[in-house]
Structures are given as C-alpha cells and as structure tokens.
Copies of this chain bind each other. A is one copy, B any other.
C-alpha cells in the first residue's frame, strides 16, 4: 500500500491555510524535516496545491527506505496521491482547477518526467540539484534542455523559494548518517 507515514496528518492539520509560495514551501520543508527526524525516509517533501485557492490536495514525503521502493520519491508520492484523490491520471483534466507541485528540492530525472506527465502547470522548488548532489544523492540525467522541454509544454518553473532552509534539512540528514539510497557509484 502506497501511503504517507501516519505522522503526516499532524503536520498538515496544524498548518492551516497556505498563502503564497513561501507558506506552501514552509509546509513542504516541515514535512521533509519531520521525515528525517522520525527516520521515515530521505530529506525530501512535496505537495500538490490548487493554484487559485491554494487548497492543499495531497502531500508526499520520500518513502524509498520505509516502503523499500526506489520510485517513491516525495514528488512521485504527492502526484500519485493527488491523482488518486481526484480520480484522474492527469491533473490537467477538464473540470479540474489548475494545480501546482511544490517540492523541497529540484526534482531528479524520474520526478521531472513524472512532473511533466502529472499535468501540473507550475512547479516551485527550494534546494537545487547541486545541493542534493553535495550531500551525496544522484539526481540523474537532468539538463538545461530538460527544463526547456517542460516550459515548451506550458509548465512554469519557480526556483530558490526558502532554499537555505531546505538545504539545512539535507545537511541534517547527511550529518545524521541517513542512507544515500540512490547511490550507484560511477564506474571508474
């Protein structure tokens, strides 16, 4: 069963309403930080919001180690749970409001692909690819052209929202000896 850890409800309930990218990102970083503190996965959080109303639709936290599954990054979790909730394989289906993905770190190659297919019209990021690589994660084959590809298909990209806070969560994970589950060392 694909679901977030039980403690997530407490964090989202206490959050109340979310205004602007800053408040939405604060929630997502709180999820990432709790995920590290409770040892339920990697230092990443994500959420899907309605663009207009800022209503929270679904959240995800990295669950690779908890659920023993390499696919369950925070963004993939948030997208899967949002689509399950809205009963649609695309978040840009007719009749749905515009939706956005807010993530505590720039998506890896897999999550960037999932973001394209998800149907969100906007992605907001905190930490960068380089920040994640600096603590040991392999972010996969993402290039400048990858973002051009998404932009050409109508996806707006917003960067560097609360980046310093998100980096502090990455560093707390590294300093606590959290496992780097994406590691596939370069062949020498």
What residues of chain A have their CB less than 8 Å away from a CB belonging to chain B?
1-2, 64-65, 67-71, 76, 79-80, 83-84, 87-90, 92, 108-114, 116-119, 138, 140-143, 145-146, 149-150, 152-154, 181-182, 184-187
Q: CB-nearest residue of chain B relative to A182? A: B117
Which residues of chain B have C-beta atoms less than 8 A from A182's C-beta? 116-117
Contact in complex: A186, B113 (CB < 8 Å): no
Cβ contact within 8 Å between B64 and A71? no
Contact B83 A184 (CB under 8 A): no
Q: Are B70 and A153 touching (Cβ within 8 A)?
A: no
Query: What is the bound-complex CA distance between A64 and B109, given in angstroms?
Result: 19
Most buried by B among A83, A92, A140, A187: A140
The answer on a CB contact under 8 Å between A112 and B83 is no
Cα-based distance from A71 to B69 in the complex (angstroms): 14
> Dominant SS at the A interface?
loop
Contact A70 B92 (CB under 8 A): no
Among B1, B71, B88, B152, point to the contact of A71 (Cβ < 8 A): B71
Residue of B nearest to A183 (CB): B90
* A70: chain B residues within 8 A (beta carbon): 79, 83, 89-90, 114, 117-119
Tell me which of B84, B110, B111, B152 contacts A187 (CB under 8 A).
B152
Q: Flag if A90 contacts B181 (CB, 8 Å).
A: yes
Please name the 4 residue pairs, one residue from A and one from B, whose CB atoms are nearest each other, closest first: A110-B113, A109-B113, A141-B146, A141-B149
Given contacts A113-B140, A141-B113, A154-B184, contact A68 B92 (CB under 8 A): no
